[in-house]
Structure 1
Amino acid sequence: MMVKTRELCADFVVVGGGMAGLCAAVAAARNGAKTVIIQDRPMFGGNASSEIRMWICGAHGPNRKETGLLEELQLDNYYYNPELRFTIWDDVMYSFAIREPNLRVLLNSSVEKVEVENGKITSVTAWNLVEYTRYKVSGKLFSDCSGDGILRLSGAKFRQGREGRDEFDESHAPEVEDKKTMGNSILIQLRRTSAHRPFRAPEWAYHYTDETAPKRNLMPEGNNFWWMEFGGVKDTITDAEEIRDELYKIAYGVWEYIKNHPDGRGHGWELDWIGSLPGKRESIRFVGDHILCQKEVEAEGKFKDSVCYGGWTMDDHHPEAIYYPGAPTIFHPAPSPFGIPYRSLYSVNIDNLFFAGRQISTTHMALSSTRVMATTAMMGQAVGTAAAIALRHGELPRGVYERHLDELQQTLLDQDQFIPNIPRRVPELTLKARSDREILRDGWDRDWDDGEHGASFAAGESCSYTFDKPETVSGARLVFDSDLADLKRQRNVETSGEIREMPAKLPRAFRVEADVDGKNVVLANVEENHHRLVQLAWKPVQASAVRLVLETGWSAEPMRVFSFDVK
């Protein structure tokens, strides 16, 4: 059989479809770049997918939750998948990608070749394992969001393992550098049962006793078993199959021990699912124009080129993982939030290579915080947006830093990606009007440590901007309260029967209207809103006033609005 090679051409090519890659591809496509995303699995999501089922974690603390594309996607999940079924979550992510007209999706496709000319990647070739076809995808810009840094085949500089304490003056680093990493985890999920039947693990699994069982939390209630971890003393890329086999032995053995324990701890539970693919925490890290380190994280990352933020603790898992008798991880404090610089998201030596995800340019210690998926989703949105801006101006990634950084930051802020210490500029047209709700144009799209930045509305209430003379109005930007205290994670126990409702203060139906030539004109009417950020556009009108009318919410509670801009 002759193997076909199909050729595609794009402005921007994203390799990897986890949370970072998915957000990078959608951000670029929405901002006008013809984009191809290449994913080696049959679904998006990476560690968050139904294959692995890790939680999407991020910044700690009130009002710190990541918004932008991630919040939009998670609200889609509430709307279309209120029971939080993992397989439906896969399809919510699939829909998120394929509805973008500028985005071409290649699933089941694994990159095997990278071509480079004059320090730039010109194409990648991927093998599609269901079509038995190779795809050669040419592009102007590329982003590695694969997690394992497959585009290092380009010759891009990278690091692997832990830096020695003195290299970056990191107090939590080991005294001497080594090649050890954090390991991989396999997850299991349980369901309640009314009848106890002993569980029989396969003969090849481990069969634990009280003396040999791992020194971990061996109770079923509320346990997502993240500590079933192995591989940090091996190579999590080249030894991946060996690591998976060991984790299967551990997982089946752990459940057999819990389920059949004579104290009855597992009698009310049964095994519902076991992961087919371990989730990775660490493999390689690319080298960018800046390497983020522990001390910069601890100093709140106050970079002039911050484009996203972290806020998870420096959660450094021991390389020996489940075979280490002590605590499986050390939670070193980290501020929430801390800025992540744009210079850590593109290659120092391959001129057209971006990256997002766990393999960005950091030390091992900084990675222990930045690796979590809510943080990597924001990296992806930053990279995709930067790629679109670079293409618009004929720039490479470094050129965006040198000449278009303000445009990148303001575009991200406008598209609801919060950046610490970078204020969002409110449109001039909004500021020149008279307002009856001043707080809605203060440039803050969330409550913060200094207090509340939103206004509440009962059904039928409105707010307005009035101009001294008619002004041209062609659109509006609205940010609603989607309850950032709710982390919107999937559940440990999928079969609990719990239904997730849309956020109580989120408006469901609203309209924007204007006074045009003495008449009230409805400019936009939204009847089934389930998003936090809503961008509206209409044919330009000369308006003497513009009103937002909140009609109904998703609950009986008052609706809440953070920002109302007209432009």
Structure 2
Amino acid sequence: MKMNSRTDQMDGMNTAKNVLPTTEHTVQFCVVGGGLAGLCAAVAAARRGISALLMQDRPVLGGNASSEIRMWVRGADGEDMRETGLVEELELENCCRNPDMNFSLWDSVLYGLARKEKNLTLLLNCSCLDAKTEDGRICSVTGWQLTTQRYHCVKAQIFADCSGDSILAPLTGAPYRMGREAQREYGEDIAPKQADSCTMGMSCLIQARQTGHPVTFRAPDWAAHYTENDFPFRLDLSSPERWTGENFWWMELGGTKDTIRDTEEIRDELVKMALGVWDFIKNGGKTDASDWELDWMGFLPGKRESRRYEGAYILTQNDVRNEGRFEDLVAYGGWTMDDHNPSGFETKEKPNTFHPAPSPYGIPYRCLYSSAIKNLMFAGRNISATHTANSSTRVMATCAILGQAVGTAAALAIQAGKDPAGLYPEQIDQLQQELMKDGCYLPWHRLRPDAVMKGARITCGREPADILTDGLERRIDGIDHAWEGMPGDELILTLPEARYAGILRLVFDCDLNRKSWENAHWYLKRYAMKCNTFRDDQPVLVPQTIVRAFNVDVDEGDGIWKPILTETENYQYLQKIRIGRLIKRVRLICRQTWGSKTVRLYAMGLWEK
């Protein structure tokens, strides 16, 4: 296993910096890397009034989930385990705006989330290539923007590396690991007996489209050539049509090489492989693909693993198996420890092994900031974890909620005048409460009501609706924590006396398990991203349980209802509605859902801010 060194530290910028212009930026929080983790980190901080900058080396956001790679977003397994917060906000935005799951429109959903934040500066096509440090702190990072042929130098109080490849590690000297630990180091029985430099590999995916008419395909002479003997444990040849549900993740190489240094060489082989696999499907005589055409092929490899930072704590296989009930839990996982064979497609053995993991298990805050660089945080597949733990934490929905935790923590640290480590342990409870207030689920924790709610009661007619303030906002261990009523019912929140209320917070039922999508392919219910396109595909829908139309009124103490909001086209599960005045009562009338016959809410509460 390769450990940290400074052998790849840059000596300095080349002489081009003396010729080409440099734009200077000074912000409070700088995020490098615009995958789901980096995007959620930057947006979470910006929404808290922090000036943030997001530097992304591609023209689009999303990383492995973007149109350039198109890997399915995955997270915790099991019913009621879907990740919420910003990642669910993105999913619901996509359902409403992009029901046919066009990847270009998905890119625009991600782009729109960043662009609408007034406190967030977005630098696309900008690759981080230098960093300056002093006394164990990052002073600035510099990126090269290909499209404008200029440098961007960013100064900030806190930096977050969400680049996947951990570019700031070699540039700052932050300790990191790359490869697999030996069993004996952490007592991990699924780790190899001897440490090595192997990682999981990378993939260039393909997508096919059913046309309804015969389509031919002729592979170039430089493509790979395969027979059915090349696909054990991979392509399902049990019937001619079984391949159509594939996303071809097993077209994987590079785990025995260096998944950073050798990326271009590995990409060349992956492209040959992709064309060869499609040639076999079309022309190998073992599958029925006569009316299918190759619709898209990736040229940017999707990576599973490279550098992993060393944080204040290193998450291990045993932490995962023991449910990770850390006092500083700020996110959770639940994907199996899905360890891929480093040889990838070059071996006839199984391409991966699913080692059991509980769903959920907790991930601690101490895995998200550097053990050596005082103002460096990280989120995504590069968090502080062993190879075995990383085989579970690396999936993108988990990465997204890790990013939201980092952005929220960075904002709290900046507002308190602290480094990231300064939040532990004194402000961990505050961090957890803020994450849950913003819609994130934290296992074994509940959201406490704000002080403005002391003595409040919520009723529907003469019946109490106390469950709306129990701080649990999904079904947990088989117990559903939702209030259920009919369209037109009035929920009235009454305070003991008139008090100032900043916002009304509502959480609608978003159908976590997507049971209302009765005819959808199984993989769409996990996260609405398609692989192959069938002729009879149906558009995805906004979950039927979400309240579409509702009214909010307030009584300032004079007994007169005054309208605050009339909403007719809501499609989000979490709403924070500005009140900003002294009130005695709030009335919520849910008039219409997106299809459900009943109205279901998980929370209704007032907050000072």
Question: What TM-score bracket applies, with the shorter chain setting the length?
Answer: over 0.9
| Native 8 Å contact 1:85 1:494 kept in 2 | no
Indicate the residue corresponding to 2:192 in structure 1: 174
Distance 1:12 1:291 in 2: 24
- 1:191 aligned to which of 194, 205, 209: 209
Change (3 A) 1:198 1:527: closer
1:23 aligns with 2:40: yes
Change (3 A) 1:177 1:546: same
Indicate the residue corresponding to 2:5 in structure 1: none
1:415 aligns with 2:438: yes
Indicate the residue corresponding to 1:489 in structure 2: 528
- 2:577 aligned to which of 536, 549, 554: 536
Percent identity of paired positions between Structure 1 and Structure 2: 47
| Native 8 Å contact 2:379 2:402 kept in 1 | yes
Which residue identity lines up with residue 59 of structure 2 in the other structure?
P
Change (3 A) 1:506 1:249: same
| Native 8 Å contact 2:41 2:403 kept in 1 | yes
- 1:313 aligned to which of 336, 343, 347: 336
Deviates more, 1:259-268 or 1:23-32: 259-268
Deviation at 1:409, TM superposition (A): 0.9
Deviation at 1:500, TM superposition (A): 1.1
1:552 aligns with 2:592: yes
1:525 aligns with 2:553: no
Indicate the residue corresponding to 1:260 in structure 2: 283
- 2:542 aligned to which of 502, 509, 512: 502
| Native 8 Å contact 2:141 2:154 kept in 1 | yes
Indicate the residue corresponding to 2:181 in structure 1: 163
Which 5+ residue runs of structure 2 have no aligned equivalent?
1-15, 237-241, 460-464, 515-525
Change (3 A) 1:521 1:11: same
Indicate the residue corresponding to 1:462 in structure 2: 490
Indicate the residue corresponding to 1:58 in structure 2: 75
Deviation at 1:431, TM superposition (A): 4.5
Which residue identity lines up with residue 570 of structure 2 in the other structure?
N
The secondary structure found in structure 2 opposite 1:550 is strand
Change (3 A) 1:548 1:492: same
Which residue identity lines up with residue 77 of structure 2 in the other structure?
H
Distance 2:295 2:589 in 1: 47
- 1:116 aligned to which of 130, 133, 148: 133
- 1:225 aligned to which of 248, 266, 282: 248
Deviations 1:213-257 (A, max 9, x none): 566215531010000000000000000001100101111001101
Indicate the residue corresponding to 1:282 in structure 2: 305
Q: How does 1:307-386 map to 2 (within 5 A)?
A: 307-386=330-409
Indicate the residue corresponding to 1:514 in structure 2: 554
Distance 1:111 1:101 in 2: 23
| Native 8 Å contact 1:513 1:521 kept in 2 | yes
Deviates more, 1:104-113 or 1:453-462: 453-462
Distance 1:381 1:212 in 2: 41
Deviation at 1:194, TM superposition (A): 2.8
Which residue identity lines up with residue 350 of structure 2 in the other structure?
A
- 2:452 aligned to which of 411, 429, 433: 429
Which 5+ residue runs of structure 1 have no aligned equivalent?
none
- 1:471 aligned to which of 467, 478, 499: 499
| Native 8 Å contact 1:21 1:356 kept in 2 | yes
Which residue identity lines up with residue 58 of structure 1 in the other structure?
G
Deviates more, 1:397-406 or 1:316-325: 397-406
Distance 1:196 1:468 in 2: 72
Which residue identity lines up with residue 34 of structure 2 in the other structure?
G
The secondary structure found in structure 1 opposite 2:425 is helix
Deviates more, 1:557-566 or 1:123-132: 557-566
Indicate the residue corresponding to 2:149 in structure 1: 132
The secondary structure found in structure 2 opposite 1:221 is helix
| Native 8 Å contact 1:457 1:550 kept in 2 | no
Deviates more, 1:244-253 or 1:446-455: 446-455
The secondary structure found in structure 1 opposite 2:28 is strand
Distance 2:509 2:68 in 1: 32
- TM-score w.r.t. length of structure 2: 0.91
Deviation at 1:407, TM superposition (A): 1.3
1:251 aligns with 2:282: no
Indicate the residue corresponding to 1:444 in structure 2: 472
Distance 1:491 1:28 in 2: 30
The secondary structure found in structure 2 opposite 1:134 is strand
Which residue identity lines up with residue 494 of structure 2 in the other structure?
T
What's the Cα RMSD here? Answer: 1.4
Deviation at 1:495, TM superposition (A): 6.0
The secondary structure found in structure 2 opposite 1:258 is helix
Indicate the residue corresponding to 1:561 in structure 2: 601
Q: How does 1:384-395 map to 2 (within 5 A)?
A: 384-395=407-418
Deviates more, 1:405-414 or 1:427-436: 427-436
The secondary structure found in structure 2 opposite 1:13 is strand
